[in-house]
Structure 1
């Protein structure tokens, strides 16, 4: 049940995120749906490849595809004046999607009895894969490749689950709230990882 709920939360959050980025880039309705679907399911496809699950397993998630399509449709039909507040709420949806999918990916790998390293990789790729594909298709520099702290929180979620620190449903939901909050704090207060510039501006 925890896995299902987190999958649903992540699917809605990333489908909405992808759809609004597409609308910001003035894509047509087909582009909006494609970017929304790719954002919602791209991370899961990459994770499946890495941990040995057939990518075709994604097609068994009919309910989640329907949820994604409904979410994208709702965003597309939403009044434009309310969508202008996306910059304010967009990062929140992204944080929710990152947290839900990172935990879901880690649980997926842990349930297959993969080692800690695989659990962390599954958490990271499920959490950030869809966002990377979304940003690349939209012609943007992926958030995860900038100095802004993003993937670190997916690694943190993978560690907690891989080390079996969180095992019960309430612990998973607490971890979800914690990772989401840390991501929100990191962009609110502009926390950054160290960078090194090789050329002067």
Structure 2
């Protein structure tokens, strides 16, 4: 149940984020739905292809596709003035999707008995893949390539699960890590934390 809730939250958050970006770029209804669907599902597809796992299981949870479609419909058909005012919240939606999908990727790799490297890779790709697909399709610079700390938080979640620091099967521990990753991503954005080490040499 805990993973079903996390998946619903993540899919809705990323579908919302992708739809907002599409509307900002003045996409039509088809483009909005394509971008809104690609954002929550691209990370899992890329992960499965990279790890040699059949992609079909990504689509087996049909209710998640309905969640994405419903979210996109709400965004597209709501008054545009309302939707555009929600754009300021996109960083929070992206943080929610990043955290939930990073943990889902870690759980996937652990369940498939991948070593720590595979867990880290799965966590990062699942967490950031959707955002990268969204930004590339919208012809924006992907967040993962910015100086902001972004993929590091997905890797941190995968590391905590991969080394057994948290039990990914324990609901309370999983949700605690979920909210911690969100908090750290939001803080790193608002406080301007980055990985541009060359600035340190100027101090």
Q: TM-score, normalised by structure 2?
A: 0.93
Q: For the aligned residues, what is the CA RMSD?
A: 1.3
- 1:32-64 per-position Cα deviation (integer Å, ceiling 9, x unaligned): 000000001000101111223201112212110
SS in 2 for 1:84: helix
Measured in 1, the distance between the counterparts of 2:93 and 2:133 equals 16
Q: Check conservation: 1:22, 1:31, Cα contact below 8 A.
A: yes
Could you tell me which runs of 5 or more consecutive residues in structure 2 were left unpaired when the two chains were aligned: none
The answer to whether structure 1 residue 173 and structure 2 residue 164 are counterparts is no
- The yes-or-no answer on 1:28 pairing with 2:28 is yes
- CA–CA distance in structure 1, aligned partners of residues 19 and 84 of structure 2: 14
Find runs of 4+ consecutive structure 1 residues off by over 3 angstroms.
Answer: none
CA distance in 1: counterparts of 2:28 and 2:81, whole angstroms: 19
CA deviation map 1:146-199 (0-9, x unaligned): 1011000000000011011111110000000000000000111111111659xx
The alpha carbon displacement at 1:130 in A equals 0.7
Aligned to 2:55: 55
Q: How many residues align?
A: 197
In the alignment, is residue 188 of structure 1 matched against residue 190 of structure 2?
yes
Secondary structure (helix, strand or coil) at the match of 1:164 reads coil
